Structure 1
Amino acid sequence: MARDVQARLAYLQWQPSYTHTRPYRIGVFAGRRKRNIDRDKTTNLVFHVADHPETIRDIRGLSEAPAFDLDTNGFVYKRCLAPTLTKSYEYSDPQKVNDIFLPECEAILKEHVNGAGEVMIFDWKEEKERKREKDKEPEFAGVCATGSYRLWRPISGPIEDHPIAVCDGRTLDASKLIESDMIRGNYTGTMLYPQYEPSDAHKWYYMSGQDVEDVLLFKGFDTKKDSVKCEWLITLLGCLSTVHIPVKPVGLERRRVYID
């Protein structure tokens, strides 16, 4: 049964100050927050919630399921073996992660990413469900100089709340993406944020009841010619049965894992 949802999404809003001050966001660690650091000083990004909801299609309910493809759409769902590590505490053991989890992810990427003869995993994260914060700032997949892909999967499921939704990369207008700096400690990366399209140009999809065998692969960035260059994703907050649900772009909740 299809469970399409309607949601009002948050988009980066262009500010006149961006003409002379580059958009930026500084990652704030929990310890700094405890010292009451003024969080307004950590970013000049301003987000605006769209005036009307957009439809997010459940791919399980598509009567003629399109053949999603990484190069064409920027994302793809693949049916894979369940992860060996299924307990949250197991991901606190670096040896288990390095010896078991990461090789499984590497094998998935080599199998499903065209031309991936060699895979270098440079980051991974596992998070449990967290409290809803007041600042619902979106984040966009980081950009890599040559090309990067990300893998997102539940380690226990099926997921019924906080699912990930992805935008068809063909519907993203590259000329309306705003580049910004993402600063974390001594590292400075680049983030891309889309602006609002009142014409409902963006096409959104998600998978209801995503289970441990359902792996989402999506692009961080790709330099290949005639290929979707990047992907945008969001986390849907709230019960999927509601008509209007709040949305916070990108974030991993409730015992799921993604890798860069």
Structure 2
Amino acid sequence: MSVQTAHRPATSTPGLSTRASIAAIEATLTFITPSDTKPSFHSSALTGGAPRVLFETERHTVPIHDMRPLAGTLSLDREGFELLRRPTAVEDLYDDEAVETRYYAEVEALLKEALGATRVVIFDATRRSDAGPGAPNRDGARGPAGRVHVDYTEKSGPQRLRDLLGEAEAARLAASGARIVQVNAWRPIRGPVERSPLALADASSVRPEDLIATDQVFPNRVGEIYHLAHETGQRWYYAPWMTADEVLLIKGWDSLDDGRARFTPHSAFEQPDAPADAAPRESIEVRTLAIIED
């Protein structure tokens, strides 16, 4: 198994014919159906259970390629995701205190190494499971996210920065030319992942017009995420049978708009070759802002 251990620059990209030849499975993903009005949905925090979706979706079967043969060349700045081997010393990722102290410290160190970040702000951790009502969290149980989406948008990425650091600090960072990257660190709590793995779109294959800004309604505010409309040129990848020693880094927003990947669509999917007695998928994702200052 070849899994990279450090961030690599966006060079030596394999040709599209090479990438197309990587082994793939056929699986179904759920996309948004574009409409003339801005879509919205009520979050789990508002409903107290499953989100209430107020827009149409459609399902498409697509080839999802094994990313492992390409793991050494994947880049947050090109594809928008990376696969790393990084064991954790935290024995129980269901222990909130351990997660918010020791595991957060591990994630902070990882992102400083992977992105050259000078500061990492960790603002959320979510556990997910496809068993029963979902995995426990402080704000309720969560299951896998079943629609192709990006956690932030051109509008909500900067707003999250202002919410976390304040208007003055956000303005200072902008004036200084600092780069801000929103990154999720996604890890199986138990492995290997036998069902409900993540599919990730190669961000370089996603047309901007297919990212559909969607209102996410919370009890006390309205956020915004992207859902993805289907287009045949999109390229999809997954890491088969991920273990608890592996981490996916997923870019949700980048303050730089210079042609590099900025938004990475992703979704859980039903793995067609899952064993009949497959164990539930259990995972934890940590949401961060990586701040890169000269």
Q: If the TM-score is normalised by the length of the shorter chain, which range does it land in?
A: 0.7 to 0.9
How far does residue 3 in structure 1 lie from its aligned partner after superposition?
6.1
Partner of 1:125: 126
Distance in 2, matches of 1:226 and 1:31, equals 38
Q: Bigger shift: 147-156 or 22-31?
A: 22-31
Letter aligned with residue 121 of structure 1? I
Distance 1:58 1:99, change over 3 A: same
Letter aligned with residue 96 of structure 2? D
Candidates 41, 50, 56, aligned match of 1:25: 41
Distance in 2, matches of 1:234 and 1:6, equals 15
How far does residue 87 in structure 1 lie from its aligned partner after superposition?
3.0
Contact kept, 8 Å, 1:85 with 1:155, in 2: the verdict is: no
- Structure 2 residue 86 is the aligned partner of structure 1 residue 107: no
Distance in 2, matches of 1:156 and 1:182, equals 30
What TM-score do you get using the length of structure 1 for normalisation?
0.77
Contact kept, 8 Å, 1:3 with 1:240, in 2: the verdict is: no
Partner of 2:27: 7
**Number of residue equivalences:** 228
- Structure 2 residue 261 is the aligned partner of structure 1 residue 235: no
Contact kept, 8 Å, 1:86 with 1:156, in 2: the verdict is: no
- Structure 2 residue 73 is the aligned partner of structure 1 residue 59: no
Structure 1's unaligned 5+ residue stretches are 243-252
Distance in 2, matches of 1:129 and 1:232, equals 20
Letter aligned with residue 29 of structure 2? L
Letter aligned with residue 58 of structure 2? H
- Structure 2 residue 226 is the aligned partner of structure 1 residue 192: yes
State the 4+ residue runs in structure 1 displaced beyond 6 angstroms.
none
Candidates 86, 90, 96, aligned match of 1:85: 90
SS at match of 1:122: strand
Partner of 2:81: 75
Seq. identity, %: 24
What TM-score do you get using the length of structure 2 for normalisation?
0.69
CA deviations over 1:137-157 (Å, ceiling 9, x no partner): 554322311531111011221
Partner of 1:98: 100
Partner of 2:245: 213
- Structure 2 residue 183 is the aligned partner of structure 1 residue 183: no
SS at match of 1:221: strand
Distance in 2, matches of 1:30 and 1:176, equals 27
Contact kept, 8 Å, 1:83 with 1:155, in 2: the verdict is: no
CA deviations over 1:198-244 (Å, ceiling 9, x no partner): xx2011111111112211001111121221110011112244259xx
CA deviations over 1:130-177 (Å, ceiling 9, x no partner): 3499x9555432231153111101122121221112110000001221
RMSD across aligned positions (CA):
2.8
Structure 2's unaligned 5+ residue stretches are 2-21, 134-142, 159-179, 288-294
SS at match of 1:190: strand
